[in-house]
Amino acid sequence: MANPSILILAGDGIGPEVMAEVKKIIGWYDAKRGITFDVSEDLVGGCAYDKHGTPLHDDTMAKAQDVDCVLLGAVGGPKYDSLDFSVKPERGLLRLRKEMDLYSNLRPAQCFDALADFSSLKKEVVAGLDIVIVRELTSGVYFGEPRGIFTEGNERVGINTQRYTESEIARVARSAFELARRRNNKVCSMEKANVMESGILWRQVVQEIHDKEYPDVELSHMYADAGAMQLCRWPKQFDVIVTDNLFGDLLSDAAAMLTGSLGMLPSASLGAPMANGRPKALYEPVHGSAPDIAGQGKANPIACILSFAMALRYSFDLGEEATRLEQAVEKVLADGVRTADLMGPEGGVPVSTSAMGDAIIAALDASL
Ligand code: NAI
Ligand code: MG
C-alpha cells in the first residue's frame, strides 16, 4: 500500500520557520517509529504570487485534492498589502478551503498546566482545560445572499444574510458527533434559536441527526451568548461545541485566549470523507505570518507542531502517536523551555524556534 501523503505549503513569514520544525518531527517518525509519509512541498500565498502571479497555482490546487492532507504554515505580509484583492495571499488559503470544501473547522482550546498562569482567568478555571470548538466554515452569514451595500431612499444600507440549508447543518453536526465519539461523547450545540430562524433550524437538525445517528452521544443546546458567558465562567463544563460560522469565529477566538499564546494554537479544517474513508483535511496553526518576528528564529513552532499532531489523529488514525507528540510538547513546557512569546513577567532566557523543535524531538526520544 502507498505511504500516507502530505502536501506541505509553508507559505510566508514565519510559516517556513515553524514548518521546518514539523519536518524534523516527520523525519523522527520515519526514523524512530517506521511511519513514513510521502511528503511533497509547494507554494501558497505571497511566495506563490511572486513566482506565478497567483497565490495558488492550479497545479498546487490539484495536488492538494490528491493527498491525504495538507499542512499549511501561514500566508501574507506587508509586502503584499497593496496587491489587488483577487491575488492577495489570503485568497490562496480561501481557494484551498473552498475547493476542498472544508466545512468543519476544529479549534481546540487546551491548557497545558505549565502555561496556566498565562491565562487571564484563574488557574483553577483553566488548568487541564481540553475542549474543541467545531465551527461551520463554508456557509452562513459570511456567504449568504443577498449581500452588499445598497441605497434605500436617502441613506445607505449594509446587508448580509444568514442562510443555512438542512444538509449544511447536518454535515457539520455529524463531524462534531464523530469527534465526540473519539473524545468524551459530549456535544453542546450553540445558536440563537430565540431570535433567528436559521438558529431554530440549526437546533432542529442537530437534534434530528443526534436522535437518528448518534443517540449514544450526550447532546445539549445553548444560546450562543449564554455559551460565551459559560465559556468564561467555567469552560471545563464543555467538551465539543458545535456552532455556525459567525458564532464559531467569535467563540473559538475567545476560547483560544483562555489558554494563552497565539503561538500554541493548532487547527484542522475537515471536509467530506474521501475514498479511503478519511476526511479531506487541511491543518494549520491559527496564527499568521508574524512579519514582526519573521526571519529572526523567534517564532514558536508549537502551534504548527500541534497541527501536525491533529493530522496524525484525524487523517492517519494514529491517535497514540498524536498523544505521544502532545505529551512531548507538554514535557518540554513543564521543563521550562520557552520561546519568547511564552516568557512570563518573571523573565528568563527564551530559546529559538529550532531549539524548541530539538527539545520536542528529545522528549519524543525519551518517550520510546
Ligand atoms: P499574526 O498571527 O501573524 O501575529 C500577531 C502577533 O502574534 C504578532 O505580534 C506575532 O509576532 C505574534 N505571533 C504570531 N504567531 C506567533 C508564533 N508562532 N510565535 C510567536 N509569536 C507569534 O497576525 P497579524 O500580525 O494580524 O498578521 C500578520 C500577517 O499574517 C498579515 O499579512 C495577515 O494577513 C496574515 N495572517 C495570516 C493568517 C493565515 O495564514 N492563516 C492568519 C492571520 C493573519
Ligand atoms: Mg477570527
Whole-angstrom Cα distance, residue 138 to residue 147?
16
Q: Mind listing the pLDDT tens digit for each residue in 319-357?
A: 999 999 999 999 999 999 999 999 877 778 999 999 999
pLDDT band for position 117 (cuts 50, 70, 90): confident
Q: ipTM beyond 0.95?
A: yes
Q: Mind listing the pLDDT tens digit for each residue in 255-272?
A: 888 877 889 999 999 999
Shortest-distance Cα residue to atom 17 of ligand 1:
263
Q: Judging by DSSP bridges, how do beta strands 240-243 and 186-191 pair with one another? A: parallel
Measured in degrees and rounded to the nearest 5, phi and psi for residue 85 equal -50, -40
Q: Residue 27 Cα, ligand 2 centroid: separation in angstroms? A: 32
End-to-end Cα separation, the chain, in angstroms: 26
| CA distance readout (Å), 171 to 64, 220, 314, 367 | 22, 18, 16, 37
List, in sequence order, the alpha helices (H) in the chain: 15-33, 46-52, 58-66, 89-99, 123-126, 166-182, 197-213, 224-233, 245-257, 302-314, 319-334, 353-366
Q: Mind listing the pLDDT tens digit for each residue in 56-103?
A: 999 999 999 999 999 999 999 999 999 998 999 999 999 999 999 999
Are 202 and 193 spatial neighbours (Cβ–Cβ below 8 Å)?
yes
Establish whether 314 is a catalytic residue: no
Ligand with an atom nearest the CA of residue 135: 2
Q: Mind listing the pLDDT tens digit for each residue in 159-189?
A: 999 999 999 999 999 999 999 999 999 999 9
Establish whether 24 is a catalytic residue: no
Which residue of the set 42, 164, 192, 239 is catalytic?
A: 192
Q: Which of 75, 136, 103, 134 is nearest to 255 (CA)?
A: 134
Shortest-distance Cα residue to atom 8 of ligand 1:
290
Whole-angstrom Cα distance, residue 147 to residue 69?
33
Whole-angstrom Cα distance, residue 202 to residue 155?
34
Q: Which of 98, 103, 19 is nearest to 61 (CA)?
A: 98
Q: Residue 250 Cα, ligand 2 centroid: separation in angstroms? A: 6
Domains of the chain: 1-110+262-368 (3.40.718.10), 130-257 (3.40.718.10)
Q: What is the share, in percent, of the chain residues with pLDDT greater than 90?
A: 88
Which residue of the set 101, 113, 253, 358 is catalytic?
A: 253
